[in-house]
Structure 1
Amino acid sequence: MAAVLHLNLSWIPDEPDRVGDLVISRGRDDVLTYDDGINLQVHVIDPASYDTVDDLIASARTEAGPGRVALVAGSVPVEWRAALRHINLSFIDVDGVAEITWPRLRLATRQFARHVVRRRDVVPLQKGHALVAEELLIAAASGAQPSITELAQRAEVSVSTASRAVRQLAEQGMVERKQNWRQVAVRLVDITGLADLLADRTAWPGSEVVTAYAWGRNIWDVAAAISRNAAGAGIEMAITGRAGAAFLGVLGTSSPGEVRCWAALNGRTLPEIAGRLQLEPAPRESANVRMSADPWRIGVHRRADAHFDGWTATVAHPLRVWCDLHGEARGREFASQLWRAARSSR
């Protein structure tokens, strides 16, 4: 055995998979260990985070350094692979293709990942891909079959991002592509599957959250005040979770104990945004507001004003609220009630 590659990726098989002189194994850290005890840190690059292979390569070059190697891992577009080979940038694809060019290690195989989990478990839903998935679900609710260009416009992403997201979903059998004159129409064939995948991968919160306190007569007053402050400060923010569901007409037997919301950073830090919204920092046990950073704008996309009794708040799209409810107490129950509204475009 020449080396063991440990990767902290969900789609790596639980059991070590030996390919030639390399053993690929699930691990807590991304590291390459040679049989003589030398370790190299592995910088894992997800191709789904980039619109073009040139962008990916530029990112990989900035991460180069002593004691460190780069690895492109995920759903690697076939048309990108020649460029990766040209600069000896190693990659592993979820389909089982692995091409490694590292010190003392050369590997080219299509045998890797014989025991990989279901393909749809590795569909990347980040950056603009989640927005494309949301727009597909919204279009399907009305029976529409948008073109890739229309999806890109509605999701506010590039056409290349929309095209790649559709291609990856088509590989899983979730969508069908039909040539319609000069455009490709996209039909969603697995609404429930894509909705569940979207909720599982993108539900609130994101990777960064702040807890705070805002004065209000009740939780609805707090949501309305945050929305007013956001509008006045030019901050993209959207209420979600149980508070958002209530503004959309889905009520529980008791009021939620906190307001959950998304906030687009747009060059600011999350604490700075909280300050602009006049939120007082507070520990989790005394907070009534929890705000999550929204770097890909999945929460604030298609937000709109909604009304509850005498209060008005800026609320995420019903589909987004439906996704975000799944992590709350009794969340699936409330999500079930919201499903009809979530599939309706405003």
Structure 2
Amino acid sequence: MLREIGWGRQVIVSSDPKGEWVPLARALSGQVVAVGPGSGNVINPLDEGTRPPDVDPATWRGLVGSRRSLALESICTTLRPGRVLDEFERTVLDRVVEAIDSGDVVATVAAVVDWLERPPSTLRDELGDAGAEAPTALRLVLGRLVRGPLAGMFDGDSTVALDPVAPITVVDTSAIVGAAPELRAIAQAATSAWIDATLRSGDGRWRCVVSEEGWDELRNRAQARAMDERLRMTSQWRCSNWLIFHELADITQFGEAGSAHRNQVKGIITKSAIKILYKQSAASMALLDEIVRPTQAEADLLASLPQGVGVWHIGESTPVLVAPIAGPTAYALIDTSAGREG
């Protein structure tokens, strides 16, 4: 990423759970956005973003509405793990997004919760007796962002904005690394939607978006769909998406074998034109063969590579073995082995 910045790309690190990217951002006079209790920062996952000049207002409203619907679904499914939205709850979220679009509801989670507390009679009629509890259920779920330990971080208007001219922006989530898993997942969902609003702006910048905990970010099915869209829109949005997995075996955590969720995650990996592979455990080799199809010699090599040396697959070209070299100034900023080596 340091070298990509040298070529004029802007780098966005969507989540830095260990604070490892912060020294690099500060050394380059980049932007660091802290997320977590006490940070004072609010990130609004329902931000509209900036309409690209070549997109007409009607089309833009549709795109923003779809993104807001996906963001709300992602938050709800994160707060209710293992439970998907039913048809009545989807209807409620559709009407919420329409109310935001018409200006009847402010585009914040707090305003959505207020609207759900007193839903219009037309919605109650549409839901009927069978769906009468859907607004209350969603209000209780989303209300957890407004009250309690999650309050004040993602429920109001954004107090920070992505700096479009910073060489690198790092979302520092180290303050919540030991927090409940749902808080980390909510932070990922909110910042992902916030970043997508910037990517859609069509401001002419070329960006690299790094998902430091890609395996964790894709646990949520709605997040996986959002990432799938981002990969499909790389050319139009001028973004290169980098997802980091500890090892390929991590994807076995996503849904059941053969499920739509796991297949979507596998599709995200196979659609990626560049794959960088480091030393793999025996548990990952079967998945590696399925997704990357390495030669036997390459597979043998991947079982014994030294730290930091990787095999780069770039499109259909011959794989290349790469040992990165950094000068002392850069190495001091990117070395994360001090705690491991003593």
Give the shorter-chain TM-score range.
Answer: under 0.3
Asked which structure has the greater RCO (Cα within 8 Å, sep 6+), the reply is 2
- So what's the TM-score if we normalise by structure 1? 0.24
Q: TM-score, normalised by structure 2?
A: 0.24
The structure having more radius of gyration, on CA atoms, is 1
Which is richer in helix? Answer: 2
Q: Which has the higher strand share?
A: 1
